[in-house]
Structure 1
Amino acid sequence: MVARAVLVTGSNRGLGLEMVRQLARHVTPPDVIIATCRNPEAAQELQQLSKSHKEVNLLKLDVADEGSYAAMVRSVSEMVGDQGLNLLINNAGVAPKSTRITQVKWQQMVDTFLVNSVAPVMLSKAFLPMLKIAATQAEGSGLSVKRAAIINISSVLGSIEKNDKGGIYPYRASKAALNAITKSLSNDVRDSNILVSSVCPGWTQTDMGGKNAALTPEQSIFNVLHLLSTMNETHHGQFYQYDGVKLPW
């Protein structure tokens, strides 16, 4: 089992949907899988997964609407019970069309930061009490996603050191900010025994990545879930690629 109770944001398509699918079909699936998206009623594949896998619970969540967080947190609390939430995967994200400095727009920057950077830190804050409860259920102080973890789905495009091509301002900057959030969170929650890490799922054949990408969603998520299952103290506050290669900030 990767973890007892898992919440994945942005689960209606792409990597989020594939993550829920592979978690549900795992030989030892989580007891509770909470798949969130803006419009669960229209997410037909998620609906089918919830019908065929009792572990999958659908929940409406627009990560850009902070006003909806309180009700959503109450619903999650009822689902996970007194053992808390073990794994929060901040997967929801947007990627505007690739832009150069002469074409980037104000609203592109603002909207992308809201979803890719602001929402993950505010959701982590909202779920922190449940993560802390989960962290107390295991003995010792070792870190793992099975115990309690926040995983931020980032991108190599957010690596400042590896940026040798420029452009893509909204996405690059928002993911670099997400990585900074990961680092700060890792320091803030270390004493609570909560693992925090950024993970790049690779260039993947999704609506966001395009059909020419190197990896299928199945390949990417298979590797991501394997990586998560092996994470420990050495991964805390770090940035990793789907295949376990450590990435520079």
Structure 2
Amino acid sequence: MKTVLITGANRGLGLGMVKYLTHCKKSQRIIATCRNESEELKQLSEKNHNVTILHLDVTNFSGYDNLTAQIKNIVGDQGLNLLINNAGITTKFTKLGLVKTEQLMDNLTVNTVAPIMLTKSLLPLLKRAAELYSGEAVGVERAAVINMSSVLGSIAQNDQGGFYPYRCSKAALNAATKSMSIDLKKESILVACMHPGWVKTDMGGKNAPLDVDSSVAGIFNTIENLGEADSGKFLQYDGTEIPW
């Protein structure tokens, strides 16, 4: 049974991912982490024996070792096949004259530092999965880290300015993703960052053109088809490559 860990799984895109995987025909163990479990996530866990909810505040770095130990108890010797660093925050419409230090620091902590440090903590479990499923396998058949980024983190496509906290944190996450892909290549761990599209969530807003189900289906279809040549890339949910 393949194991998938999703951070920020209590609502929005993360919850949509859990829903998608529970309806997926493939046998998968789903570990959903969040600060506060929503009623919908709780119900999903109660109805699906393969869904486990673990408490995680991604800003509580001292708790990562304990989380890793909990996951090790769940997966045993099978390792972790797919880590989706999805938890994130945004500060909208921030122009230079109004941006605050705490906004920058909060966005960088959650959107950049947390994915790096959580990946570091879970690396032994990812390596174990890679050892078991290396070779011809692609996507979640092997070990992979997917960092959920945003087109707003693209420097090449920034033609509107503003959004300093969010843009900077996602651009930094993209840089970290590229470094991870190089550092973990010898371990056969694939790493990519992905833009989910502009999605109707609490973060994306009601005017977003894309619904959660369509975004999530595209994300997992893209993940399933990833190969070694895709490691280190910045991809849209439909597999289209985005310029840095």
TM-score by length of 1: 0.96
**How much has 1:28 moved relative to structure 2?**
1.7
* Residue equivalent to 2:36: 39
**How much has 1:146 moved relative to structure 2?**
1.7
Identity of aligned residues (%): 51
Q: Distance in 2 between matches of 1:19 and 1:130?
A: 21
* 1:58 maps to which of 53, 57, 80: 53
1:10-36 CA-to-partner distances (Å, cap 9, x unmatched) read: 000000000011011112241x10000
**How much has 1:144 moved relative to structure 2?**
3.1
Q: Secondary structure at the match of 1:145?
A: helix
* Residue equivalent to 2:170: 175
Q: Residues 110 and 232 from structure 1, CA distance in 2 versus in 1: closer, same or farther, beyond 3 angstroms? A: same
* 2:127 maps to which of 120, 129, 132: 132
* Residue equivalent to 1:117: 112
* Residue equivalent to 2:151: 156
* 1:9 maps to which of 7, 10, 14: 7
* 1:224 maps to which of 219, 222, 227: 219
**How much has 1:143 moved relative to structure 2?**
5.0
Q: Secondary structure at the match of 2:158?
A: coil
1:185-244 CA-to-partner distances (Å, cap 9, x unmatched) read: 001000000000001000000000000001000111011111111111121000000111
Q: Distance in 1 between matches of 2:45 and 2:26?
A: 16
**How much has 1:142 moved relative to structure 2?**
5.5
* Residue equivalent to 2:90: 95
The number of residue pairs the alignment matches comes to: 244
Q: Distance in 1 between matches of 2:20 and 2:68?
A: 24
Q: Secondary structure at the match of 1:137?
A: helix
1:144-170 CA-to-partner distances (Å, cap 9, x unmatched) read: 332100000000000000001100000
Asked if structure 1 preserves the Cα contact closer than 8 Å seen for 2:30 and 2:50, the reply is yes
Q: Secondary structure at the match of 2:53?
A: strand
Asked if structure 2 preserves the Cα contact closer than 8 Å seen for 1:143 and 1:193, the reply is no
**How much has 1:67 moved relative to structure 2?**
1.1
Q: Secondary structure at the match of 1:95?
A: coil
Q: Distance in 1 between matches of 2:172 and 2:71?
A: 27
> Match for 1:154: what amino acid?
S
Asked if structure 2 preserves the Cα contact closer than 8 Å seen for 1:86 and 1:149, the reply is yes
Instruction: Find out whether 1:236 has 2:234 as its counterpart.
Output: no
Instruction: Find out whether 1:68 has 2:66 as its counterpart.
Output: no
> Match for 2:160: what amino acid?
K
Q: Secondary structure at the match of 1:132?
A: helix
RMSD over equivalenced CA pairs, Å: 1.1
Poorly superposed stretches of 4+, deviation over 2 Å: 138-145
* Residue equivalent to 1:24: 22
Q: Residues 167 and 13 from structure 1, CA distance in 2 versus in 1: closer, same or farther, beyond 3 angstroms? A: same
1:34-62 CA-to-partner distances (Å, cap 9, x unmatched) read: 0000023xx11111000111110000000
Q: For structure 2, which runs of at least 5 residues remain unmatched after alignment? A: none
Q: Secondary structure at the match of 1:112?
A: helix
